[in-house]
Structure 1
């Protein structure tokens, strides 16, 4: 960024050439320079953010300050490195001070890893952040160039105009309805907060779901009269019919968060039928587009559906239900905003949890347009795992549903909060606020409560030993990774300038080192030596034969088996082994065409000779009904409990009549064991926030960082024991 009026550091401004007097003057001038410019302002600001993180959850204002400090520190480092007017000694001193700011930023992100998204190159810089940045530069005496005073920094684009398409059939629909006028009666009216005017409410609302709910499941009051008729030949369960009845009674926003396997697709389609919310837009992951079209024909046979592929050449612009996947939404967001949809369904709604992503922005734009043009549209978010890493995962979903915007609750929710007569300073506010949000339309039912005919499930760990040269190589690589982490820890300890001494292991520093290691391997593409990602991949490859052998034994003895893996080479090894053993298998992968994929699913479900479905954990973890099997083999571990749960629930769902067992293959005496423990520790978030559990929830720090923390801590403990 070009700046005018930047301070100059070169030369001896006092004309002193030596002696004690000259040295004293230089020392005084050095101290003055220490308090000049942007660095001391950044140092004070980053300490304030660090203090906020130590006191608890970081508020939006602190998040803004964190991002601005990071941006300015990055710019100042670039300037210092290239400024020809400062001496090498001054350059080194300023870079050290910037390193100190960077260390505090890293320590703060270790406390709240949601801050990492603010450091991304494509992170959205809000108007508040731009204003704070200008203020800090002004306080530092930096004179901004005129164009910088008026030019806003780029914000993530809404949609790429050049990629926009309008399918021919959609254009025909528009021409056939030239006088179709939008219904603006559904436009959001201004908020008239009274007692809550001036309060920051989004954070307290989120916090209300982090606190124990005294055993109460997060579910709005639903009609008991569930006399909703299903299409001929189909049966609608009581819990499904309740949601349909609520839509028929006039409720129009639903976060349908039933546990996976409880028939959310059917509920969404029949709710749209009850609310007459057609045309209906359905946004889904690409792997379930075909399945959604089938479900439309099954549950709403009198409605027409069209599936959008690519540029949409085959789209039926007159269809009742338009099904599109997230990956191509950027091409179609333009016409979809003005098509006259009366309802919208977002399947696997946790896909939009990152509000800075293009997919989230497109979904939110279309939703806002529908609300502006349609009176009381039906907005439905479907996800069995709405919370994956953090309670903040709720934000984008709530915004899609029209409950909040970027900064505050919207009128329907603010009215409910005002009715409580409480403010966030009152302890009873939190359970009351939680209840108010739930009443907006959160529907969460557990299998154990509403589908007693679904047998229980269990996850059984199957430890395996990695033997021979492969096992020795992996264990040596893990030791090498631990040695590198220890070296990095010792270097950080030796160069620390705070003067603080720590008895034993400095656990804060351990976490910072683990965070640095993870950022190096994910952000900069660093590939020299092993890292936690390559380690887990090698372990998966080494386990492939053992996991496939166990799946083959299960298929021989108990019937059909679903085999899940993350990587293609692990799937390839498994399919090779099955073929050698004369066991027929079907493959479900992300690179298959929808037609091939569905044919393979049908073969596994309907052909008694196809004994094993070999599935990609990411491509087949959602939207499949594979309850013809009752045994699942997880050959590789995922990085989240939610991903693991989604895979198991392809089998453990309505229609299952056998107890389900998921066999999780874990490599003993490797980091695989630690990752499995961390996945299990994450399982409590949804239970606490949605199911009323009092179970303690672990930190929201990602599992990759926690695995590195564990590896480094174990290495330091072992070293201390040897000494």
Structure 2
């Protein structure tokens, strides 16, 4: 009964307080103090015997256990009956909330509607286990030895938990495999199978380009871990929503922006970025989440930071309601500077708390039958941690599973005034072409009536718009694309910095000098050394910059002009490149990729193409894919650039923009 559990906790608290008082009372003789402590030990024995019959009572004895208001009132009443008067606690003064606190407490209307439709969130403790406390290892400091076990690891020590064999993948993944038209690679299917078989905590540390997002979403599907929270960097929020649609089409995603006024409270997957998470921890903690994914988990390596505290708070709240929720930390490299970077990630996953290992990890360490004083403890302890759910595969290890060269789109969202300005300019460009279309239609002679949209006239107007670059007062398509490149330069550089910290050397390609300038400034602020290859350099300076990138292990990024460095360079020391701006021809893009994907390249190559959503960027990317057969060339490099393709692409982009405007008009 709740009342009995409260009394059990209160007795334990009073015994603990009395023990501290007796030890500190200098007026007591040694014999009297010993007698009092012996009586208190008898009470402690009774409490322990009671808890042994119901192991959940041990949680009430924890030093950090929450004491309810009813338990506090019961404690005061017991003391009063014993003749000890304690003053009533003074009510906490009401503090006027500032605007930021009010925003944090505000619950989006859609979330309120969901809470009203489902007022009783039933906890799930069907797989609960008794809290494991150190027995043989009681008194030993265990967290530091666990961290040190990774520093002492032998070169051939396994870095990946045991995963299901290939023969069992079909049976274990079952209906949780990839949707129709998409195929899981074997290394991805292994993790999904592990989730399907019951594993629930993963530190997924695959190298970038191995599909961690798809694995996480399908693992959630296998575990039934919805509603699911995904905490991600701002630069990949849109991409996460897109991946949900691709890999789990039967699930609906909502992206939280700002104060969350437009969030869908009934969505299966809630996507929020680190920077605004503090505004939403209140309602998220009460939302009935059954799973949580933290993307680029090295963002929480500093446990004292606010973003880390927000993440740890939410994961703890989920574990309070769900005995075995799905918790996944995704990062290409969990260690950025120091072995201590593991601490916050392990705590998020529930493997440790602030003091000792928890749950299955503690059980595994007890079964080792060694202590930190024994050298053999360290490899065994490391193995026990890895088996909790560390999954690490390198591209070279699964090279047979993935294409030798692939292009991955990285959608980004342009926020702030820059994004609004670009969208206004695009609307103005569309409006101008609509006026030109209407004017041409009104002067057309009789006998040339076309029902609906005259697509032939649309193409003519688009051609006039492309060719008429000298008399416009508004912005043309060339200026539009350049402004989009400038606006997404910082986001592309941020993602490049993440790659550089995760996988080493990265090549950053841009068309315009001002985009290169923004990227280089970003790298300098992040403390990332770079070399710069531009068209205005002498051959000597250019070669010196290339040599620095190829030979100096401290130079992590090569910032290259798409036209000046797109040909004639050998940059195969890297296997990842970022295309910060789209080109008007696929040939330029392919040539840039070929600077890295060359004979002698030992690893699969990934080109990350940064695309600004809700802008002309998306239309141009779609046209490149459609006209040039991008997927085929990503596999075998086939295809020749057709003369005039750049002009055709510009015209097609304007055709698509004008057609959409006319369709919207009705």
Tell me the CA shift for residue 451 of structure 1.
2.8
1:161 equivalenced with 2:101 (yes/no): yes
The alpha carbon displacement at 1:239 in A equals 1.0
Equivalent in the alignment of 1:258 = 206
Task: Give the CA deviation at 1:402.
Answer: 0.3
Alpha-carbon offset, residue 226 of structure 1: 1.1
SS in 2 for 1:312: coil
Which of 280, 283, 297 matches 1:335? Answer: 283
In 2, Cα distance between equivalents of 1:202 and 1:381 = 19
Q: Cα 1:540–1:322, aligned 2, differ >3 Å: closer, same or farther? A: same
Q: Flag the 1:198–1:594 CA change in 2: closer, same or farther, 3 A.
A: farther
Supply the distance in 1 between the matched residues of 2:336 and 2:125 (Cα, whole angstroms): 36
Cα gap change, 1:549 to 1:219, in 2 (>3 Å) = closer
Contact residue 280 and residue 343 of structure 1 kept, 8 A: yes
Match of 2:153 in 1: 212
In 2, distance between residues paired with 1:303 and 1:539? 41
Residue 254 (structure 2) aligns with: 306
Please, which runs of 5 or more residues in structure 1 have no aligned partner? 1-126, 128-158, 458-531, 566-570, 611-625, 630-654, 660-723
2:392 equivalent to 1:444: yes
1:606 Cα deviation after fit: 2.5
Q: Secondary structure at the match of 2:202?
A: strand
2:143 aligned residue (176, 199, 202): 202
Match of 1:645 in 2: none
Alignment of 1:333-372 (within 5 A): 333-372=281-320
Do the aligned partners of residues 552 and 627 (structure 1) sit closer, same or farther apart at CA in structure 2, a change above 3 Å counting?
Answer: farther
User: Which residue is equivalent to 1:178?
Assistant: 119
> Residues 310-329 of structure 1 correspond to what in structure 2 (within 5 A)?
310-329=258-277
Shift of the 627–347 alpha-carbon distance from structure 1 to 2, 3 Å rule, reads farther
**Distance change >3 Å, CA 658–CA 407, structure 1 → 2:** farther
Say if 2:227 is the partner of 1:283. no
User: Which protein has the larger Cα radius of gyration, Structure 1 or Structure 2?
Assistant: 2
* Partner of residue 679, structure 1: none
| Equivalent residue runs for 1:324-723 within 5 Å | 324-452=272-400, 454=402, 545-546=536-537, 551-555=562-566, 594-596=613-615, 599=618, 602=621, 606=625
- 1:455–1:170: structure 2 CA closer, same or farther, 3 Å change rule? closer
- Report the CA distance between 1:538 and its aligned residue: 12
The residue correspondences of 1:2-21 to structure 2 (distance < 5 A) are: none
**2:355 alignment partner, SS class:** coil
* Mapped contact 2:532–2:559 kept (Cα < 8 A): no
| Aligned pairs (5 A) from 1:66-145 | none
CA distance in 2, matches of 1:404, 1:597: 48
How far apart in 2 are the matches of 1:184 and 1:268?
23
Q: Any idea what the Cα deviations from partners look like across 1:500-543, whole Å, max 9, x if unmatched?
A: xxxxxxxxxxxxxxxxxxxxxxxxxxxxxxxx968989986896
Deviations 1:29-70 (A, max 9, x none): xxxxxxxxxxxxxxxxxxxxxxxxxxxxxxxxxxxxxxxxxx
Compute the displacement of 1:356 (Å): 1.3
Query: 1:437-491 deviations in whole A, cap 9, x for unaligned?
Result: 011000111222223254779xxxxxxxxxxxxxxxxxxxxxxxxxxxxxxxxxx
Structure 2 unaligned residues grouped into runs of 5+: 1-63, 65-98, 406-522, 538-557, 593-607, 639-666
Q: 1:539 to 1:306 in 2, by over 3 A?
A: closer
Q: Secondary structure at the match of 1:292?
A: helix
8 A Cα contact 2:230 2:272, kept in partner: yes
**CA displacement at 1:409 relative to structure 2:** 0.8
Aligned-CA RMSD value:
4.1
Return the offset for 1:261. 0.9
Distance 1:404 1:545, change over 3 A: farther
Superposed CA deviations along residues 183-234 of structure 1, whole A, max 9, x for unmatched, are 3567785432111111111111111111233413311111111113321111
* Kept in 2: contact 1:184–1:374 (CA 8 A): yes
Q: Which structure is richer in relative contact order (CA contacts within 8 A, separation 6 or more)?
A: 1
- Give the direction of change, closer, same or farther, for the CA distance of 1:246–1:548 in structure 2 (3 Å limit): closer
Secondary structure of the 2:169 match is coil
Question: 1:420 deviation in Å?
Answer: 0.3
- Pick closer, same or farther for the CA change 1:537–1:450 going to 2, 3 Å: closer
CA distance 1:534–1:373, change in 2 (3 Å): closer
Aligned to 1:144: none
| SS at structure 2 position matched to 1:362 | helix
Q: What's the secondary structure of 2:562's corresponding residue? A: helix
Q: Offset at 1:180?
A: 2.4
Q: Name the CA distance, whole Å, in 1 between partners of 2:526 and 2:159.
A: 39
One of 169, 174, 185 as aligned partner of 1:226: 169
Instruction: Choose the corresponding residue for 2:192, options 225, 240, 244.
Output: 244
Question: Is the Cα contact below 8 Å between 1:254 and 1:379 reproduced in 2?
Answer: yes
SS at match of 1:278: coil
Once the two structures are TM-superposed, the CA of residue 311 in structure 1 deviates from its matched residue by: 1.2
CA–CA separation in structure 2 for the residues paired with 1:253 and 1:303:
21
Q: Given the superposition, is the C-alpha separation of residues 597 and 443 from structure 1 closer, same or farther in structure 2, using an over 3 Å criterion? A: farther
Determine if contact 1:287/1:594 at 8 Å carries over to the other structure. no
Query: Contact 1:163/1:330 (CA < 8 Å) preserved in 2?
Result: no
Pair 1:238–1:597, CA change in 2 (3 A): farther
SS in 2 for 1:221: coil
- 1:348/1:384 contact within 8 Å kept: yes
CA contact (8 A) 1:208 1:431 kept: yes
SS at match of 2:328: strand
Cα gap change, 1:187/1:598 in structure 2, threshold over 3 Å: closer, same or farther?
farther
User: For 2:392 and 2:157, how far apart are their aligned partners in 1?
Assistant: 11
**Deviation, structure 1 residue 312:** 1.2
What's the secondary structure of 2:621's corresponding residue?
Answer: helix
Instruction: For residue 656 of structure 1, report the CA deviation from its aligned partner.
Output: 5.7
Cα shift at 1:600:
7.8
After superposition, the Cα gap between the structure-2 partners of 1:443 and 1:557, relative to the gap in structure 1 and judged at 3 Å, is same
* 1:241 CA displacement: 0.8
Deviation at 1:391, TM superposition (A): 1.2
Report if aligned partners of 2:296, 2:331 keep a CA contact under 8 Å in 1: yes
Any idea what the Cα deviations from partners look like across 1:242-279, whole Å, max 9, x if unmatched?
11111111110011111111111111111111111111
The TM-score normalised by the length of structure 2 is 0.50
Distance in structure 2 (CA, Å) of the matches to 1:429 and 1:537: 38
